[in-house]
Amino acid sequence: MTQHTHTELLETLHECMTACNHCFDACLGEEDVKMMSACIRLDRECADMCNYLENAITRNSPFVAELAAACAKICEACGNECKKHEHEHCQRCAEACLKCAEACKKVA
Amino acid sequence: MTQHTHTELLETLHECMTACNHCFDACLGEEDVKMMSACIRLDRECADMCNYLENAITRNSPFVAELAAACAKICEACGNECKKHEHEHCQRCAEACLKCAEACKKVA
Amino acid sequence: MTQHTHTELLETLHECMTACNHCFDACLGEEDVKMMSACIRLDRECADMCNYLENAITRNSPFVAELAAACAKICEACGNECKKHEHEHCQRCAEACLKCAEACKKVA
Amino acid sequence: MTQHTHTELLETLHECMTACNHCFDACLGEEDVKMMSACIRLDRECADMCNYLENAITRNSPFVAELAAACAKICEACGNECKKHEHEHCQRCAEACLKCAEACKKVA
């Protein structure tokens, strides 16, 4: 793994965590919260895993590949759920998640 | 701080994390999710902080008092919100949170 | 996944986190810290991942299998490293890690 | 709290986590690991707390002030320890920690 790729991955993970947490926060403030329940749940999963992986990468963890494999699955699931909703925060979250899923797959 | 108190605190934190996460999960499955939005948000805050503090205590962190002070505030806020709702998961969560807030205050 | 298995897994993860963090703390206090450097690094990885997975299981995460797969690898690596050292904290940690690796593999 | 301040704080926390984790990793590879044991322990505390606070800020946690108060104490302790060591990773870590301690105090 080159340092360059990790720099990019760290940025992608950070954007994904930020988008997921913003979406989590915004979904809880929507009129129809019930419709967003899967989104809220997956936003938490995805933000937390991206956050965890960022920490692991910067400490030079020997398990980046294993963690990235799990993270890719979570990002993909979150991106696919968010994609279904028209809210701007969901659309932006979907984009960040699907980009992050691809980046994670490359190191997995 | 005696080891005995930490053993008790660890158990209390663990029960609180479990109750908050169960409440988070159950709230997202309720008919009226909107009414539970503050609860969902606080359950995440509280579960994550209790989980963090458990890790910190077991690694003999020098910052248990500072972290417990923050945890006490979070537990209290979550307990007070959950207390308002009649769902069994909320009532049990409120009880676990308020017990944990007291335990955290003692080491803060 | 039965609820019973999760109860057992949660306990096993908790024991493993506790043993790893105790080993991390004790290794940093050993006379020959240099010899323990791989152990210190892996103890952190393993404690943090077990802690993360505990949180995920109690919130009924849909990704327990993926996270447990990563956790199993980390527990195994930590257990195999700790096994090499005669310190009681290392031997106890090795035992907890290898038990946890098996438990994680069953849900992965 | 203005959004601008949070953007700056997030960046400062991220730099601090990165510097602490790099220092943790580098300390474990030094010739005299024993001399770095306090540094290794505090690097973990500080990286983990900065990482936790980043997540909390981006999810719009109502407890940023409480968490930042704890984080400021941890950053300060880590910065003061790292400052004692001449290694470049320690000096850079000290700088990042003390900057982050100030930033956290402003929101605490």
Please report the ipTM that was assigned to this predicted complex.
0.94
Q: Measuring CA to CA, how many Å separate A16 from each of A10, A29, A77, D18?
A: 10, 20, 13, 18
Q: What is the pLDDT of residue C24?
A: 98
Identify the band that residue D103 occupies on the pLDDT scale cut at 50, 70 and 90.
very high
Among positive and negative, which fits the CA dihedral C54, C58, C59, C65?
positive
Residue D55: partners with Cβ closer than 8 Å, 6 or more residues away:
A17, A21, A47, A48, A51, B48
Identify the band that residue B42 occupies on the pLDDT scale cut at 50, 70 and 90.
very high
Q: With a cut of 60, say whether residue D98 has pLDDT above it.
A: yes
> In this structure, are residues A69 and C65 in contact, taking their beta carbons and an 8 Å threshold?
no
Chain C contact set for B51 (CB, 8 A):
51, 54-55
Residues from A contacting D (CB-CB < 8 Å) are 14, 17-18, 21-22, 24-25, 47-48, 51, 54-55, 58-60
Q: What is the pLDDT of residue B2?
A: 43
Nearest CA-CA partner of B19 in B41, B50, B55: B50
What is the number of other CB atoms lying within 10 angstroms of the CB of residue D91? 15
Given an 8 Å threshold on Cβ–Cβ distance, is D55 in contact with A18? no
> In this structure, are residues D50 and D20 in contact, taking their beta carbons and an 8 Å threshold?
yes
The CA-CA-CA angle for residues D104, A10, A17, to 5°, reads 65
Look-up of token digits 């509280």: B46
Identify the band that residue D5 occupies on the pLDDT scale cut at 50, 70 and 90.
low
CATH number where B10 lies: 1.20.1270.360
Name chain C's partners: 3 or more CB pairs within 8 A: A, B, D
The better pLDDT of the pair C4, C54 is held by C54
Q: What is the pLDDT of residue B5?
A: 61
For D37, the closest of C33, C41, C48 (CB atoms) is C33
Per-residue pLDDT, averaged over D23-38, amounts to 96
For D52, the closest of B52, B59, B61 (CB atoms) is B52
Given an 8 Å threshold on Cβ–Cβ distance, is D74 in contact with B56? no
Per-residue pLDDT, averaged over B68-79, amounts to 98
Q: With a cut of 80, say whether residue C4 has pLDDT above it.
A: no
| Smallest Cα distance from A67 to chain C, Å | 6
Q: How far apart are CA C12 and CA C35, in angstroms?
A: 28
Q: Which domain holds residue C36?
A: 3-107
Q: Which residues in A4-26 are b (16+ Cβ under 10 Å) and which e? A: eeeeebbebbbbbbbbbbbbbbb
Q: Least CA distance to D18: which residue of chain A?
A: A58
The count of domains in chain A is: 1
For D34, the closest of C34, C41, C48 (CB atoms) is C34
> In this structure, are residues C59 and A24 in contact, taking their beta carbons and an 8 Å threshold?
no
Q: With a cut of 80, say whether residue D63 has pLDDT above it.
A: yes
Q: What is the pLDDT of residue D1?
A: 39
What percent of chain C clears pLDDT 70, i.e. is strictly above it?
A: 95
Checking phi first, is residue B8 left (phi over 0); if not, alpha (psi -120 to 50) or beta? alpha
Mean pLDDT of chain D: 95
Q: At what angle do helices D64-82 and B64-82 cross, to 10 degrees?
A: 170
Identify the band that residue A108 occupies on the pLDDT scale cut at 50, 70 and 90.
very high
Chain A contact set for C108 (CB, 8 A):
none
pLDDT digits (tens, 9 = 90+) for A34-84: 999 999 999 999 999 999 999 999 999 999 999 999 999 999 999 999 999
Q: What is the pLDDT of residue C31?
A: 93
Q: With a cut of 80, say whether residue B98 has pLDDT above it.
A: yes
The CA-CA-CA angle for residues A83, A87, A93, to 5°, reads 50
Chain D contact set for A14 (CB, 8 A):
14
Identify the band that residue C5 occupies on the pLDDT scale cut at 50, 70 and 90.
low
Q: How far apart are CA B88 and CA B27, in angstroms?
A: 11
Q: What is the pLDDT of residue D100?
A: 98
- B94: its two tokens: 């409120």
Nearest CA-CA partner of B96 in B35, B29, B17, B28: B17
Given an 8 Å threshold on Cβ–Cβ distance, is B47 in contact with C58? yes
Q: What is the pLDDT of residue C2?
A: 43
Q: What is the pLDDT of residue A5?
A: 61
Residue A105: partners with Cβ closer than 8 Å, 6 or more residues away:
A68, A72
| DSSP, res D34 | G
Q: How far apart are CA C70 and CA A63, in angstroms?
A: 8
For B41, the closest of A28, A31, A34 (CB atoms) is A28
Identify the band that residue A1 occupies on the pLDDT scale cut at 50, 70 and 90.
very low
